[in-house]
Structure 1
């Protein structure tokens, strides 16, 4: 019976500390992903997935302050989900979306690889080539536009048809590109 009571015991000070820790770790992760780019969490390799799992375990212990009680865990998870919903709702507003999410980055424009875009996306030419191959591209001249998306994936639009401005959205092409 004592173990059952210990499992569910949490003081209001511990509850506040769990919420504050969850908010802090959430914003630290958000800031790190913003600084390091979406590529950090997209298309994870086996090693990257293991690191993500370990980061999650560390974050969990930080949020819970190593308090092994069920209410602290529920409170920590609830706070993270509430933050995710709140940030998601904020992202619906253009001004907040510019702060929260990365802008799309043009990597290839009218068949020309843009080194500045690759640097900004923290991508190598080999990684770009891999993305183009996955899209079925055989020659760079087939690519009208390749865009590093905010979710870390590369969108490839082929030459041969005009690209609708609505599809481009907030993508900014280079001044000398065909539009």
Structure 2
């Protein structure tokens, strides 16, 4: 039972830590941030299982983490309020070609990161963006301005 209580406490700590770290995808992490997350995983294991190296202790710890993950998932599914609290909400970061500095600061994003994501989406300049939204999963969605002239396909 002690392993289950320790796993529950560590789950809550890790969940809060990940929420505080912000909306970054694994691919957007710096090498140092990735290493920190791996080290945290090892520290969690030590804190949860203490000196219990048994298969039963490991199974209980994994089962507890899976249980709480499932509970939070169901809470998000069943309640929009819980979903906003647990998963976060989308945040507008560009509006009609203008970068919203407050939103960038809140999510620790740089203009260079937005421009990089724009290029990956095939958008050449901020002037082409009606809206850019940082989604709860860390991805950035771009909506092009509709008042721009359509580009004619090039002839070869």
Tell me, what secondary structure is at the counterpart of 1:38? coil
Distance 2:37 2:51 in 1: 19
Deviations 1:55-96 (A, max 9, x none): 111111111113111100000001101111110000111121
Over aligned residue pairs, what C-alpha RMSD do you find?
1.7
* Match of residue 143, structure 1, among 117, 129, 140: 129
**Could you tell me how far 1:24 is from its partner in structure 2?**
0.8
Q: Aligned equivalents of 1:100 and 1:152: distance in 2? A: 14
CA distance in 1, matches of 2:51, 2:35: 21
Partner of 2:13 in structure 1?
A: 28
Map 1:77-88 → 2, pairs under 5 A: 77-88=62-73
- Point out 4+ residue stretches in structure 1 off by more than 4 angstroms: none
Structure 1 counterpart SS, 2:71? helix
User: Displacement, 1:151?
Assistant: 0.9
1:72 aligned to which of 57, 60, 63: 57
**Match 1:61 to one of 31, 40, 46:** 46
CA distance in 2, matches of 1:57, 1:36: 18
Scaled by the length of structure 2, the TM-score of the pair is: 0.85
Question: How many residue pairs end up in the alignment?
Answer: 146
- Unmatched 5+ residue regions in structure 1? 1-15, 162-179
Aligned to 1:18: 3
SS, match of residue 41 in structure 2: helix
How does the TM-score come out when normalised to structure 1?
0.75
- Paired residue for 1:110? 96
